[in-house]
């Protein structure tokens, strides 16, 4: 295998810039191939789950300059008219402004940007990353599921408070509303296109917008699920939407663009630094993408394993998941080793700085939530982090309340 150093990235969206910045952190030299293609304006919601990786890329200052809104929970209007609020902080930012800022930042840090008219065919000798979004230009074949499209409407003035996110489920279609500091977006998702190009009254009312709110139709985006059947072949990896394109209802597009960029960069760095681990790195990336597609399809079918809904932690817990041989990323390299399987089948080894194998040892030795938290505190985790770690482990089915323990099949 040739020594990896130069990496060619097709596409210039968020995933491409995230990958370029991560590659630079790992001393790889990225070149982004940019073709000027039309793109849809709109507010994007970046969930708090993505902030750790944004932070790892040191993007705080870049994001601070984008007029973002800070969201605090998602208001959902259900088909019967009832309303609930889902907790969760988020950053709301206009997508084209974000992409331009990310690309400029990647260039400033050392990525080469090549403006071209047309993407060349994939050269099998080159280490390449397909970041061409849902078009998956270098990553065919793809599997598609669903036929929904989203009509996007945009208001470039403040019509609702910054950081608003509202979802209205309306039977066969659904709509969302999101805002940053100066603008707002409505997406209407269904199988038929908006004929008039106007937001209809039913949608305005469901989203609690006034008649005549100044939204104009700005385009359509795919809202079906799609994934590349071969996200890694030879020296080519697919990331972001080119690997898995999500339904907008999942709110996972940007988080996956980030996560897959980190995972792909780790594979490239492993190929360069540790050739004997090359095939473990390949399997790691295949399972990483397959797990994301599976998780998302399961989520859409509403077949998620029953998630813990209470914020209250039980007094006693018990570890119920098994582990297996797999691979995980440490310091930007893929390492073969033991991983735990989450309830949705995804393998995992680290939650931030916490080794899940270590968490399993602590839970197996302690069981009492208070003493597990005390143990984690001794290892430098604050009480709030320890509590949210245990909530995360409950939600992912790693632990269950001790009173309701059932052995894993």
Contact residues toward ligand FAD (CB under 6 A) are: 10-16, 35, 37, 40, 42, 44-45, 95, 119, 131-133, 135, 137, 152, 221, 240-242, 248, 251-255, 257
CA 342 and chain centroid, separation: 17
Task: Pick between residue 150 and residue 363 the one whose CB is nearest to ligand FAD.
Answer: 150
Between the CA of residue 351 and those of 77, 230, 320, what are the distances in Å?
32, 27, 17
Q: What is the smallest separation between the CB atom of 46 and ligand FAD, expressed in angstroms?
A: 6
- What's the CA gap between 138 and 128, in Å, rounded? 9
Q: What is the smallest separation between the CB atom of 59 and ligand FAD, expressed in angstroms?
A: 15
Q: What is the smallest separation between the CB atom of 95 and ligand FAD, expressed in angstroms?
A: 6
Q: What is the smallest separation between the CB atom of 343 and ligand FAD, expressed in angstroms?
A: 23
CA 170 and chain centroid, separation: 26
Task: Pick between residue 77 and residue 245 the one whose CB is nearest to ligand FAD.
Answer: 245
Q: Report whether 286 contacts 232 (CB < 8 A).
A: yes
Task: Pick between residue 50 and residue 359 the one whose CB is nearest to ligand FAD.
Answer: 50
Task: Pick between residue 19 and residue 393 the one whose CB is nearest to ligand FAD.
Answer: 19
Q: Which helix (H) or strand (E) holds 20?
A: helix 14-25
- Six-digit token pair at 408? 């894993």
Q: Report whether 264 contacts 334 (CB < 8 A).
A: no
Pairing of strands 149-155, 184-190: antiparallel
Q: What is the smallest separation between the CB atom of 152 and ligand FAD, expressed in angstroms?
A: 5
Task: Pick between residue 153 and residue 381 the one whose CB is nearest to ligand FAD.
Answer: 153
Task: Pick between residue 95 and residue 333 the one whose CB is nearest to ligand FAD.
Answer: 95
Q: State the burial class of residue 173 (Cβ atoms within 10 Å of its Cβ: 0-12, 13-18, 19+).
A: middle
Between the CA of residue 339 and those of 260, 274, 328, 408, what are the distances in Å?
18, 20, 7, 16
Task: Pick between residue 7 and residue 362 the one whose CB is nearest to ligand FAD.
Answer: 7
Q: What is the smallest separation between the CB atom of 339 and ligand FAD, expressed in angstroms?
A: 26
Q: What is the smallest separation between the CB atom of 308 and ligand FAD, expressed in angstroms?
A: 24
- What's the CA gap between 234 and 230, in Å, rounded? 10
Nearest to 161 by CA among 180, 146, 143: 180
Angle CA 339–348–28, to nearest 5: 100
- Bridge partners of residue 29, in order along the sequence: 6
Task: Pick between residue 239 and residue 356 the one whose CB is nearest to ligand FAD.
Answer: 239
Q: What is the smallest separation between the CB atom of 240 and ligand FAD, expressed in angstroms?
A: 2
Q: What is the smallest separation between the CB atom of 256 and ligand FAD, expressed in angstroms?
A: 7
DSSP state of 3: P
Task: Pick between residue 14 and residue 155 the one whose CB is nearest to ligand FAD.
Answer: 14
Between the CA of residue 235 and those of 135, 286, 291, 342, what are the distances in Å?
19, 13, 21, 29
Q: State the burial class of residue 171 (Cβ atoms within 10 Å of its Cβ: 0-12, 13-18, 19+).
A: exposed
- Six-digit token pair at 133? 């979004």
């Amino acid at each position: 295998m040739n020594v990896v150093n130069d990496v060619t990235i097709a596409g210039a969206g968020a995933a491409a810039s995230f990958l370029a910045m991560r590659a630079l952190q790992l001393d790889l030299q990225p070149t982004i191939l940019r073709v000027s293609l039309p793109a849809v304006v709109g507010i994007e919601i970046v969930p708090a789950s993505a902030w750790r990786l944004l932070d790892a890329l040191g993007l705080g200052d870049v994001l601070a300059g984008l007029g973002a809104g800070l969201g605090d929970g998602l208001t959902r209007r259900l088909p019967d008219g009832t309303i609930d609020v889902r907790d969760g902080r988020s950053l709301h930012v206009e997508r084209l402004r974000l992409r331009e800022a990310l690309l400029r930042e990647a260039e400033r840090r050392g990525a080469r940007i090549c403006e071209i008219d047309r993407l060349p065919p994939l050269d099998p000798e080159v280490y390449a990353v397909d970041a061409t979004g849902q078009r998956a230009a270098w990553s065919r074949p793809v599997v598609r599921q669903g036929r929904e499209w989203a009509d996007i409407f945009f208001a470039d003035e403040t019509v609702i408070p910054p950081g608003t996110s509202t979802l209205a489920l309306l039977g066969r279609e659904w709509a969302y509303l999101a805002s940053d500091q100066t603008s707002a977006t409505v997406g209407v998702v269904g199988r038929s296109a908006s004929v008039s190009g106007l937001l209809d009254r039913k949608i305005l009312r469901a989203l609690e917008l006034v008649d005549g709110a100044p939204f104009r139709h700005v385009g359509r985006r795919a809202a079906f699920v799609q994934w590349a059947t071969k996200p890694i072949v030879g020296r080519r990896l697919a990331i972001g939407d080119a690997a898995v394109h999500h339904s907008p209802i999942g709110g996972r597009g940007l988080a996956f663009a980030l996560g897959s960029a980190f995972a792909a960069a780790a594979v490239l760095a492993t190929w360069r630094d540790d050739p004997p681990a090359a095939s473990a790195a390949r399997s790691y990336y295949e399972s990483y993408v397959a797990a994301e597609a599976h998780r998302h399809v399961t989520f859409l079918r509403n077949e998620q394993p029953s998630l813990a809904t209470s914020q209250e932690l039980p007094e006693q817990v018990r570890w119920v998941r098994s582990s297996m041989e797999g691979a995980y990323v440490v310091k930007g390299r893929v390492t073969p080793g033991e991983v735990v399987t989450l309830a949705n089948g995804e393998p995992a080894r680290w939650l931030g700085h916490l080794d899940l194998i270590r968490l399993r040892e602590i839970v197996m030795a302690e069981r009492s939530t208070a003493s597990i938290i005390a143990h984690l505190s001794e290892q430098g985790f604050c009480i709030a982090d320890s509590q949210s770690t245990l909530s995360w482990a409950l939600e992912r089915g790693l632990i269950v309340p001790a009173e309701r323990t059932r052995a894993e099949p």
